[in-house]
Structure 1
């Protein structure tokens, strides 16, 4: 247990960490990877280059400082991060390494302001926080391994089928190389794939939502080719261009805390772009297990060419006794493209088609989620009834 003096020191430094958080975490990752390049296998290099990982860690460190005497407040966030850690096989032996370089980063950025007393207090606090993660992740590893068909870390899977879903998205059907059927997962969860790409010294990993109803003998992931920004997605482009039927990749067990919950209340599945992937698993699960549940499926795409799973989603909605599907295209290429909205999903439209008693699941690019969550909040939906998923490190939705 931390002393009151340690708690006071850590909380008093929170404003400093809020101001210098990204600078500290950027320093941290740089020095960590220089000393331990093997840990590059664990991190998403694109998130590093875009600054997303640094920002997410800075937010977490700041929150830890603010609530060091009330860590139970952070438990939902801790569990979300722990899901990511488990899927990436972060282990207890990694935590002392991270702690060492985080403290060095605080000292390196703050200089003389980071006194021995402050560094000592943060060292104690980090030990407590790290143990919380270690304990939760131990339970998650055991749960993944003990499931029927489950395992603990990574194992080999073979690409059984590769299907083009749109101009941007391709699906990969993955079967375990040992022939064991895949474990049951919750609709909306993801897996981590790990592979070696020619020209890269270290293994690369990425997390992709499972895009079909649980219960199959294989996994399906549906990957968007990331080509809009520099650097372009190394893994997504490799998967699209180079990974073929019969090839082998490594996969960790399903993880994630964004998933469909079986409830009496109506449900709205609202997605943008590749955010449709977890929604397909959710929609399929509703069609199979809860066909009487009132459901609205809303999807926004750039245009018809970029619209994935159109026929599959429509077929699933047809199985529902009270289901509606609405499609939004940012811009039509021509008048032959049929959709319900041209432009963006508006607050007025959501008010018109979403039952006010619904639980809403939202997934897509951050600007899309920011807009939709803002609209739903303005319409009176409670925080508990608006659930959303980030692809990559979680960032604040506030502008």
Structure 2
């Protein structure tokens, strides 16, 4: 896929690009937003401020470069997984093919600015080929996603009216929405998310992705939003705070169609659903779906939370669980006081999968903070679950995979 001489150049220069990756992406974003301030509306400015988006971009480009510079089947499969994850996120933001030209120009210029004389014409040509391979593959995948969603970037967002605003637990609300334009509810697979775009008081339009936390029914969808409280001097989450403080029943929000590649396979393999905190949202949708279409499927649902009072969507899951005789639920609470032990198995402390009786040939779906998922994944691998059967979702920039 990558020309032989350029592959050699990429392998030789990749360590320097990785070492200076966040410097390169910082210079890139600064230059691009200066030249094209309208693109700020497409990027989460909170993740720009805390540096996570820079890390994610640097890691993604370097990971792609490393993988296509090594030609083997494992790397090819890894490339496809990386592209799928990025393409779904881009499609949910209405990314257009022509925007890749803008990104490419500023990104390659940032590489030259940071690395200086090391960027010879040969090095520039090699990294240009890497970028345009990356961009071409993403453009094609995003075009496919737009076709499947029967939409285009120009008309991605539709108006949806809030028909119910329901408190779940402290700092967590569910919003039930119905189409405000007379259209129908789009096709959906359990585990997918929608982008919600709001215009903040300062005039900046900002999108955020929220999982559809319940199977669409009766012409409505449900999102569940945790209010992000700033810690250690960091600001509060701009969009989550806006939704909590300003959006009431009867108001209209702009939503994209559902996207996301962490979705249930239509097979009969046993399932292990792993979540922590607000990562419960895709698991809640999956259990809701299974209760309706496959109630006898064997499912082990593992959740970790601070306390019962912080455990969102617990009642929704409990209602679905009553229709699923083969569902086993185990919840770990750091502060277990007040837990209802009649509804599920309760354990104190942090999640520990060692010693659990795990179903054979299970397929695993995980959602939660990255350190949590890394620890659980290690335990699952030790227990004999193969890596290709473990799937994950990250809220925010995907820092799970790092090049190197």
What TM-score bracket applies, with the shorter chain setting the length?
over 0.9
Structure 2 counterpart of 1:205: 207
* Partners of 1:282 and 1:391 in 2: CA distance: 17
Q: 2:346 aligns with which of 340, 346, 349?
A: 340
* Partners of 1:272 and 1:131 in 2: CA distance: 36
* Partners of 2:2 and 2:264 in 1: CA distance: 38
- 1:170-181 alignment to 2 at 5 Å? 170-181=173-184
Contact 1:169 1:222 in 2 (8 A): yes
Structure 2 counterpart of 1:324: 328
Q: 2:385 aligns with which of 381, 386, 389?
A: 381
* Partners of 1:336 and 1:5 in 2: CA distance: 62
- 1:143-182 alignment to 2 at 5 Å? 143-145=148-150, 153-182=156-185
* Partners of 1:78 and 1:36 in 2: CA distance: 25
Contact 1:188 1:209 in 2 (8 A): yes
Deviation for aligned residue 1:354: 3.0
* Partners of 1:354 and 1:368 in 2: CA distance: 19
Provide closer, same or farther for how the CA distance between residues 281 and 216 of structure 1 changes in structure 2, counting only shifts above 3 A.
farther
Structure 2 counterpart of 1:279: 283
Tell me, which stretches of 5 or more residues in structure 2 are unaligned?
none
Contact 1:225 1:236 in 2 (8 A): yes
Structure 1 counterpart of 2:250: 246
Deviation for aligned residue 1:117: 2.6
Structure 2 counterpart of 1:131: 136
C-alpha RMSD over aligned residues: 2.1
Q: TM-score, normalised by structure 1?
A: 0.93
**Deviations, residues 181-221 of structure 1 (Å, cap 9, x unaligned):** 2112000000001010112x320110000000244412210
Tell me, which stretches of 5 or more residues in structure 1 are unaligned?
none
For these two proteins, the number of residue pairs brought into alignment is 392
Contact 2:339 2:346 in 1 (8 A): no
SS at match of 2:7: helix
SS at match of 1:372: helix
Contact 2:112 2:119 in 1 (8 A): yes
- 1:1-399 alignment to 2 at 5 Å? 3-69=3-69, 70=71, 72-73=76-77, 74-145=79-150, 153-199=156-202, 201-229=203-231, 230-332=234-336, 334=337, 338=341, 340-348=346-354, 351-396=355-400
